[in-house]
Amino acid sequence: MDIMNDFSAAEFDRLDDLLAFVSIYDDDNRTQAYFNLLDKNVKNIRDKVCVEAGCGFGILAEHLAQLGAKKVYAVEANQHLYDIAAHRLSSYRNVELVCADIRDFSPREPVHLLVHEFFGQLLLDEDIYVLDQLTFVPKVILPNQARLNISVLPASEFVDACVTQIVLEKLKGALVAGLFDANNVQPEQLILTWQPGLKTYQTIVDIHDSPGDVLCFGLEIYHDDSFVCRAGECDNWSLVWTPRAGDQFLLKFTPANRGTFVQFRWLK
């Protein structure tokens, strides 16, 4: 979904975020995976103070309320999304909607649980870094682990009449989400992990022992080593592809005012 007409930069960003949440909630597998995660952690929700960081339409905040949270702070910086969430959550007495960046939010009481979905296609390429900048310390962050894996594969298994070998050649150096429709692929080599407080924003990966001429990157999300969802199965996160152009590469993430800058470079 693309916005086709002219807006101020700020309003364009607000509308773009709104459409991003439409895509997120269109992924039923992702929504159900998060519902299952909350259901499994009901002991950390019932009668507890909870926060949804970046609540979007308020769907997870609503589920927290329905699971018996003592108080749910649904925190959303985007005014359009705030208004939509307000409509959904207005009947819940145990929900307080807050229009603020989660980094500026200061709850009035200790927070037991924070639920978030700040993962990008490449794990660190969206807003996960904001969890290192909170004004409060939740006892539980849900989910609390994620991994980025790769596989090096033969391009001949994926090229077709549209994305040909020549097209791949032109894409060398580019990381392309959803280039191939191959959701049955599950990248296996771990190259990057995240957990709260672990500030690792770059990795150098050596693949000289791996045959193949196209790389596939895939996000996996866990909580306490319990699987939540992965790219492809939850299509909110696509597999990311790039043609091979060497045996070693750098992947680096630099937090920005909006999202994250991604640097990808072949070293040798």
Residue 131 counted as domain residue: no
| Model confidence pLDDT, tens digit, residues 117-157 | 999 999 999 999 999 999 999 999 999 999 999 999 999 99
Same domain, yes or no, for 53 and 156? no
Give the number of domains in the chain: 2
Chain mean position to CA 201: 15
| Model confidence pLDDT, tens digit, residues 148-189 | 999 999 999 999 989 999 999 999 999 999 999 877 899 999
Confidence class of residue 1 from pLDDT cuts 50, 70 and 90?
confident
| Residue where one domain finishes, among candidates 73, 99, 117 | 117
Confidence class of residue 258 from pLDDT cuts 50, 70 and 90?
confident
Residue type, 133: Q
What pTM value is reported for the model? 0.93
Q: Report how far apart, in Å, the C-alpha atoms of 96 and of each of 50, 52, 62, 134, 181 are.
A: 10, 11, 11, 18, 41
* Maximal C-alpha separation, the chain: 59
Looking at the chain, the whole-number percentage of residues with pLDDT higher than 90 is: 88
pLDDT score of 172:
95
Same domain, yes or no, for 69 and 175? no
Same domain, yes or no, for 218 and 108? no
Instruction: Give the Cα separation of 191 and 30 in Å (integer).
Output: 23
Q: Which domain, by its residues, includes 87?
A: 9-117
Residue 101 counted as domain residue: yes
